[in-house]
């Protein structure tokens, strides 16, 4: 029973990450720069793009003097993705139902 709960937890975490990434991808494709407001109500928008380095939306803001500020997705997403990929491999091969 514990093994089944582990697989359910893995599936739930995978679906949650996929949902977050799908929502951000939708915002980049459909909303574009409107998804990159600097702060709520500021009316300052950056350039939206997608990155796979840590999967998610990146917002780049032009600053005075030719400088720019970049908001990247949290690096923890890359660790979560690596854990979700490694999880089934760590639990391989499946244990036998019958003990000897």
pTM here?
0.70
Q: Is 79 within a domain? A: yes
Q: Is 7 within a domain? A: no
pLDDT tens, 21-56?
Answer: 999 999 989 988 888 888 888 888 899 999 988 889
Contact 38/70 with Cβ under 8 angstroms?
Answer: no
> What is the predicted pLDDT for the residue at 16?
92
- Tokens (6 digits) for 25: 């991808």
* Closest C-alpha to 20, from 43, 54, 59: 54
Q: Is 68 within a domain? A: yes
Q: Is 4 within a domain? A: no
Assess whether pLDDT exceeds 80 at residue 96.
no
Assess whether pLDDT exceeds 80 at residue 98.
no
* Closest C-alpha to 57, from 87, 86, 22, 91: 22
E strand intervals along the chain: 47-51, 56-62, 68-71
- Could you tell me the residue range of the domain that residue 43 belongs to? 12-90
Distance CA 8, CA 88 (A): 12
Coil, strand or helix at 55: coil
pLDDT tens, 70-83?
Answer: 999 998 888 888 88
Total domains in the fold of the chain: 1
> What is the predicted pLDDT for the residue at 93?
61
């Amino acid at each position: 029973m514990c093994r089944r709960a582990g697989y359910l937890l893995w599936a739930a975490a995978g679906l949650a990450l996929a949902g977050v990434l799908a929502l951000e991808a939708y915002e980049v494709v459909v909303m574009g720069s409107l998804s990159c407001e600097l702060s709520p109500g500021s009316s300052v928008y950056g350039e939206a793009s997608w990155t796979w380095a840590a999967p998610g939306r990146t917002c780049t803001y032009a600053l005075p003097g030719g400088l720019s500020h970049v908001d990247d997705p949290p690096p923890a997403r890359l660790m979560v993705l690596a854990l979700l990929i490694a999880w089934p491999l760590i639990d391989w091969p499946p244990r036998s139902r019958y003990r000897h």
